[in-house]
Amino acid sequence: MTKRIAFFTDNADPLSPLGGHEAGGENVYILEMSRALGRLGWTVDVFVRWSFRKTSQIAKVSETVRVIRIPAGPIKFIPKEELFPLMPKYIESFLAFKEKNNLDYLLIHGNYYNSAYAAVEAAAKLGIPTVNTFHTLGVVKQKALGSFDPSPADRIEHEKEVLNRLDRIIATSPQMKDDLVNLYAVPAKKIATIGEGVNLKRFYPIPTLIARRVLRWPQNQHIILYIGRIERRKGIDTLVSAIAQLLKKPGIERKNVWCIVSGGEPKSRWKKELPVVKAERERLSKLAEKEGVADVVRFIGGVSPEELPYYYSGADVTCVPSYYEPFGLVPLESMACGTPVVASKVGGLQYTIRDGKTGYLVPAHDATAFADKLLFLLQHPQAKKMMRENGLERVAHSFTWEAVGEKMSAFYNDLLIDFLYKKAFKKPNGNGEGK
């Protein structure tokens, strides 16, 4: 019997180029998790809303994994905040594809709250269990961003509804599990904590000398790196202010410091960027000018996946100043390349980073604290070396996709056994439902 499962994602096409329209950690998660499960004997069909006409409907990832793009609204990019009304059409397209191709699925694994809704609705029609990975949580995001949160007003209401209907929920960190229990009243027994991973064939240490030579970076420069989306919740403004403070510290020469900010579209495509991304980059550039660090903070646009290991390996330290980060793959990628991390003490960053061991955790928004820890790492190479070794060990031990995939596979097996047991021993009541 084929162990076939369906992954649902409304917006995160796993084959989209990273750094483009809303292509980030969720895309990586779906691609790498499906590959890991495929290697463990599962057949995975990833259903994603068809967003770009130039893409084919079906794309083969491996012998056991494929991406299936289904129509739900016009075939064009639509921000994820506007996708919930299109979910009924998404469900209809999924069921039609299933029937046309005579496919049977053991379970549906949703991602994000939009596709969680689609998962529970479709699964109810098929009589199969559902699980969902919540890559962000509305209550926590709203608290962190306030009026800058772009989420629709009814997001939290929809989240609470689907949380009640899902058979199981994946929290990517202990912090997310606590939030689900304390803020959404989800029973702890319904939640499994399964983190994310790093592809160690892609992210590995490259000697700093070689990495900098390839990137044409000066060998004697202090280089601080930011990798990620260009959006307000990422806290890049805190990093800009921290750099301004760092330059005033004793022993730091302005000419010897670079802060590389990489994210969004490559520079050659900036004219085609979303207005919201362009506006945020312009805001940050103006802040850098105001802080007097426009010559030090360099906005270089997105870089290719092939270049990323060189950027991480060539940097002295990676900075993750997010205001809200449910998990965060960047710290793991950086540690896999041997570079310590200074990050905000929020969300999943508290899980992936061991404070004082693989990097430092400091209060979000606190530019002074960031500047102090950046200075310490730049001036104490032995501490940096220790964190490098600890980071490499932590990633290899706990955060490979192979290890994460095995946890998810075992979780699926337990879920299916539990679901079938309850189904077999369900006692009808007067309404034809179990007690």
Whether 383 and 409 share a structural domain: no
Query: What are the E-state strand segments in 324-380?
Result: 341-344, 359-362
Give how many domains the chain has, as a whole number. 2
Domain presence at residue 128: yes
Tens digit of pLDDT for each residue in 79-101?
888 999 999 999 999 999 999 99
Exposure class string for 127-139: b at 16+ Cβ within 10 A, else e: ebbbbbbbbbbbb
Range of the domain at 370: 208-397
Indicate if 72 and 8 belong to the same structural domain.
Answer: yes
413 contacts: CB under 8 Å, gap ≥ 6 = none
Q: What is the pLDDT of residue 283?
A: 97
- Which residues are paired to 5 by β-bridges? 44
Q: What is the pLDDT of residues 138-174, one digit of tens each?
A: 999 999 888 888 888 899 999 999 999 999 999 999 9
Residues 16, 139 within the same domain: yes
271 and 363 share one domain: yes
CATH number at residue 187: 3.40.50.2000
User: Which pLDDT does position 432 carry in this prediction?
Assistant: 46
Q: What is the pTM of this model?
A: 0.90
Q: Are strands 359-362 and 58-60 parallel, antiparallel or unpaired?
A: unpaired
- Helix crossing, 236-246 with 367-379: angle to 10°? 60
- DSSP-H helix ranges across 20-154: 25-39, 87-100, 112-126, 138-145
Residues in the chain, pLDDT under 70: 1, 18-23, 427-435
Shared-domain flag, residues 91 and 161: yes
Same domain, yes or no, for 186 and 279?
no
132 lies in some domain: yes
323: three-class secondary structure by DSSP: coil
**Do 192 and 233 lie in a common domain?**
no
pLDDT at 77: 87
